[in-house]
Amino acid sequence: MIKNQPFVNGLPLFYGDPSAVVWDGKKIIVVPCNAQAWDTLLAQEPNSLIWASPEKIFPTHHLKYKKTVPILFCGDPSQGGSLVELREDGTLIFRVDIVAATFFMLSRWEETRSLTQADGHARFPASASVAYRQGFLDVPIVDLYATIFKEWLSVLAPTQTFEKNEFSVNLTHDIDWVRRFSGGLHFLRVIAAELIKKKSGLAALRQIRNLYIQITRPADDDFFRAIYDLAEWSEACGMKSRFYFMAAERSRFQQGYNPALAVLKNCMLALKDRGHEIGIHPGYSSFANVEKLTGEKEALQNAIHQPVLGGRQHYLRFRAPDTWRDWEAAGLKYDSTMGYADQEGFRCGTAYPYQPFDVEQDRALDILEIPLIVMDTTLKVYRNLTPAQAKARILELAKTCQTFGGQFTLLWHNTSLVDDWQEWGQVYREALFELAKLKETSS
């Protein structure tokens, strides 16, 4: 027996040239792509990827997936043969390099090679990604390859059973704003906009009323009340939410607030008592600053007197693998930042939480990534979708997650229920009931 030979469901797995494998009986061989394939993929012209019909990659009598399959990497083409071959001796050969493709997507290796393409907030945009340029951002390709692999395993070992993965919905809320006005200057700018741009004295009076409420009854501020609305809507659908609060100072890109304020502390503890999770939403300048990240996490923990397990970076500012490394160093257990601001979809190629790998330090990181699939501002601001189109996209991607038994992570801000976003608050509420129905049909 080969030393340290890996086995999958009792079958030996080899990663190499089939002609070099000496093993009697059933076995699985994945043919590696060549050493230049990853860089070649980065430089490949948009929409030039090979897509295979499902009949060419799934076992035909197990065929459930009806769409074409994107092929990121293939083994040595000089060897010929089909994409997947089952020989008479029970040797299963994958000439699609599902190992390389999985590592490529989950490690976000391409993002470590494309730092010059970062946007104005130091984020890697969807438009620069292979998945977007090659048209498979809507495909959880890692989950698809895992499904293909599992289907072939059931052919080789038909008596083996596999644990069924249940579709789940992960509702998350980044609490960027807890009051309508950040300060006096902000209030004056809003009043000026009402009077000069909208020419509405009535609207200006409403803003004065809003300021009065903010000062005298902060818990009745519309932005603050919306936090409770989100909790109530989740509960009405039989679900719980994760609320990510800040502990950052005010700056250009954030309102900033102190979580130890009584009104905020009472809110967070009430949410916790109702079964919701309280997490951290680190401020804009916590990006690439592990000391600030750690300090904000500790400030939130001190305010609610309980451990904070995870959260999401403000503005989705993330650099792989550095940000994962910072969250690990800060003692956090999970991150849920890995989605694109400019496009919804599967940035990591999966709808499953997973343990990321640090390609620079060559090690698995002691943290869990829960990929973000859809964000409200992506749909309205970046993509300029109508409310109807946005709801359709939410449900389309949720159904994709359901197909693979994954987790659909949705981000909806508390501010996305009021003012110009009121119609979008209705979109969210309607989508929640549809998501609850999807969960029921999956259980």
* Domain of residue 346, CATH code: 3.20.20.370
- CA–CA distance, 367 with 331 (Å, rounded to integer): 9
Any idea which residue has 């009065």 for tokens? 212
**Alpha helices per DSSP H over 129-261:** 130-133, 141-156, 184-192, 201-216, 222-236
- Look at the chain and report how many structural domains it folds into: 3
**Residue 11 within a domain:** yes
DSSP-derived 3-state class of residue 29:
strand
Q: Does 162 fall in a domain?
A: no
Query: Residue 202: which residues within 8 A CB-CB, separation 6 or more?
Result: none
Q: With 70 as the cut, is the pLDDT of residue 236 above it?
A: yes
Please name the helix (run of DSSP H) or strand (run of DSSP E) that holds residue 15, with its range, or none.
Answer: strand 11-15
Quick check: is 163 in a domain?
A: no
pLDDT of residue 442: 84
Distance CA 134, CA 345 (A): 13
146 CB burial (10 A radius; 0-12, 13-18, 19+) = middle
Q: Are residues 112 and 228 in the same domain?
A: no
The CA-to-CA distance between both ends of the chain, in Å, stands at: 42
DSSP for 75-114 reads S-GGG---SEEE-TTSEEEE-B-HHHHHHHHHHTHHHHS-
202 lies in which domain range?
180-220
- Residue matched to tokens 């803003």: 207
Nearest-angstrom CA–CA distance, 272 and 227: 13
Beta partners for residue 242, in sequence order: 172, 277
C-alpha–C-alpha distance, residues 55 and 63, integer Å? 7
| 33: in domain | yes
Confidence grade of residue 76 (pLDDT, cut at 50, 70, 90)? low
The reply to whether 262 falls in a domain is yes
* pLDDT > 70 fraction of the chain, expressed in percent and rounded: 92
68 vs 56: CA distance, rounded Å = 9
User: What confidence tens digit (pLDDT) does each residue in 158-217 have?
Assistant: 887 778 889 999 999 999 999 987 766 775 676 777 667 666 667 667 777 777 677 788
- Count CB-CB contacts under 10 A for residue 238: 11
| pLDDT per position as a tens digit, 90-133 | 999 999 999 999 999 999 999 998 767 899 999 999 999 999 99
Contacts of 20 (CB under 8 A, 6+ apart): none
Quick one: 330 and 372 in the same domain? yes
pLDDT at 369 over 70: yes
298 and 337 within one domain: yes
CB 172 within 8 A of CB 339: no
Q: Is residue 324 over pLDDT 50?
A: yes
Amino acid at 136: F
Domain match, 186 and 308 both: no
Q: What is the pLDDT of residue 161?
A: 76
SS (H, E, C) 373-396: CEEHHHHHHHCCCCHHHHHHHHHH
Residue type for position 154: S
| One domain for residues 338 and 430 | yes
Tell whether 212 and 280 lie within a shared domain: no
Residue whose structure tokens are 């080789």 = 156
Whole-angstrom distance, CA of residue 319 vs CA of residue 22: 42
**In terms of DSSP bridges, do strands 27-30 and 11-15 run parallel, antiparallel, or are they unpaired?**
parallel
Q: What is the pLDDT of residue 329?
A: 98
Name the band, by pLDDT with cuts 50, 70 and 90, for residue 1.
very low
- Return the SS3 of 368: strand
Domain membership of residue 433 (yes or no) is: yes
Using DSSP, state whether 273 is helix, strand or coil: helix
CA 77 to chain centre: 34
Is residue 324 within 8 A of residue 312, CB to CB? The reply is no
pLDDT (average), residues 26-33: 94
Q: In three state form, how does the secondary structure of 406-438 look?
A: CEEEEECCHHHHCHHHHHHHHHHHHHHHHHHHH
Q: What is the structure's pLDDT at 198?
A: 67
Q: Reduce the DSSP state of residue 311 to 3 states and report it.
A: strand
Kindly state the tokens that stand for 336: 């849920």
- pLDDT of 16 over the 50 cut: yes
Contact 176, 246 (CB under 8 A): yes
Q: Are residues 206 and 191 in the same domain?
A: yes
- What confidence tens digit (pLDDT) does each residue in 125-156 have? 999 999 999 999 999 999 999 999 999 998 98
Q: Are residues 112 and 136 in the same domain?
A: yes
Q: What backbone torsions phi and psi does residue 401 show, to the nearest 5 degrees?
A: -60, -40
Q: What is the pLDDT of residue 413?
A: 98
In a domain, 1, yes or no: no
Residue 9 has pLDDT above 70, yes or no: yes
- Between CA 378 and CA 339 the distance in angstroms is 10
What is the four-CA torsion angle of 293, 406, 42, 74, rounded to 10 degrees? 140
CA distance 27 to 93: 8
In this structure, are 189 and 316 located in the same domain? no
Q: How confident is the model at residue 365 (pLDDT cuts 50, 70, 90)?
A: very high
419 pLDDT higher than 70: yes
Which tokens sit at 67? 């769409």
Q: Residue 119 carries which side chain, given as an amino acid letter?
A: D
**Residues 150 and 186 occupy one common structural domain:** no
Phi, psi of 135 (to 5 degrees): 80, 25
For residue 127, the model assigns a pLDDT of 95
Note whether 184 and 172 are same-domain residues: no
Q: Quickly state the pLDDT bin for 398 (edges 50, 70, 90).
A: very high
Average of per-residue pLDDT values in the chain: 92
- 194 in the same domain as 116: no
> Is 2 part of any domain?
no
Instruction: With beta carbons less than 8 A apart as the criterion, state whether 251 and 257 touch.
Output: no
- The reported pLDDT for the residue numbered 77 is 55
DSSP code at position 305: T
